[in-house]
Amino acid sequence: MANTISSRTYRDKYRLATLDTTLRTALVAEKVCAVDRSNNMRIQSPYGSASTVTIQALTGTYSPADFTTTDDTLTVSDEFIVAEHIMDFQNLLSNFDLFSARTEQMTADVAIAIDKYVINNLCEDGTGTYTTPTGGFTTAANVNEIFGNLVSKVAGYAEAYYGNMYVILENTDMAGVIQAGATNGFNNADNVLTNGQVGRWMGVDIYVVRTGTFVDATIGTKTVTNSGHRVFGVKNVTTYAAPRGVNVEEKAVSGKTGMEVAVYGYVGFKAWAPKVSLTVDITLA
């Protein structure tokens, strides 16, 4: 006599004590921007006009010139929110801490969304421009030329920017960079071939985000057109404000068991006018 046994009668074994987390993109914005977490809506940074030096024969006379000051302001203008309601029985009867797992995932998702917002603002607001040779970063033969041209964009200033530069690429760009790294210089090639490390090129720190980070879209109050673009620049010459960082609220809701969880953050971004050319919008050819 045969018995038919339901699959749910078997014992289950869980690999983790909590929900397995989804894959998360790397966070980059705080590595390349100055971050302000004070509870201010605006950050003021006025700047003066450039002065003009007159070169003339010896006369001992001069004409005083006018000058102007211009207000430059960062305003916190956007908020990022995700909210879910976790019923009490859902959390109580789970084999893991569902409440903690969901809260952690929501917090990570808000941070990733803010990161994408800042990266696209960097690319949109930078006034420096550069178009790569055909094939962009995916063509190994282009890599030295691209980085040499980018570094030249910020070279020659009294402040030492060399070694304080970055480029943000998407993961699909890395094929050419990795191939180039395996053939350029003994130490560099050894790191790439043996360890797969391509963290810096010509003094430029390379940060990699996932495909789809650079977009044509409206993000909050800002419309960006960055599909097919990447960004290069000098670190800490732009600022993003994130008052109190990412916040979590738990609320009891009438008519429902359990708790409603809201995760949110406020964000503003500014590429400051006197140094806006130190952020370069790269167009991939």
| Structural domain spans, the chain | 17-41+78-283
Q: Is the pLDDT of residue 195 over 50?
A: no
pLDDT for res 193 = 46
Q: Higher confidence at residue 155 or residue 10?
A: 155
Residue 168 has pLDDT above 60, yes or no: yes
The span from the CA of 284 to the CA of 144, in Å, is 15
pLDDT of 189 above 70: no
| Percent of the chain's residues with pLDDT above 90 | 67
pLDDT band (50, 70, 90) for residue 198:
low
How confident is the prediction for the chain on average, in pLDDT?
A: 88
Question: Per-residue pLDDT averaged across 77-84, rounded?
Answer: 95
- Does 194 or 146 have the greater pLDDT score? 146
Centroid of chain to Cα 216: 16
Count of CB atoms within 10 A of residue 268's CB? 24
Q: What is the pLDDT of residue 197?
A: 46
Residue 116's closest CA among 3, 252, 240?
240
pLDDT at 55 over 80: yes
Average pLDDT over residues 246-254: 91
For 262, the enclosing helix (H) or strand (E) is: strand 259-271
pTM comes to 0.87
Q: For residue 192, what pLDDT is reported?
A: 45
Contact 26, 208 (CB under 8 A): yes
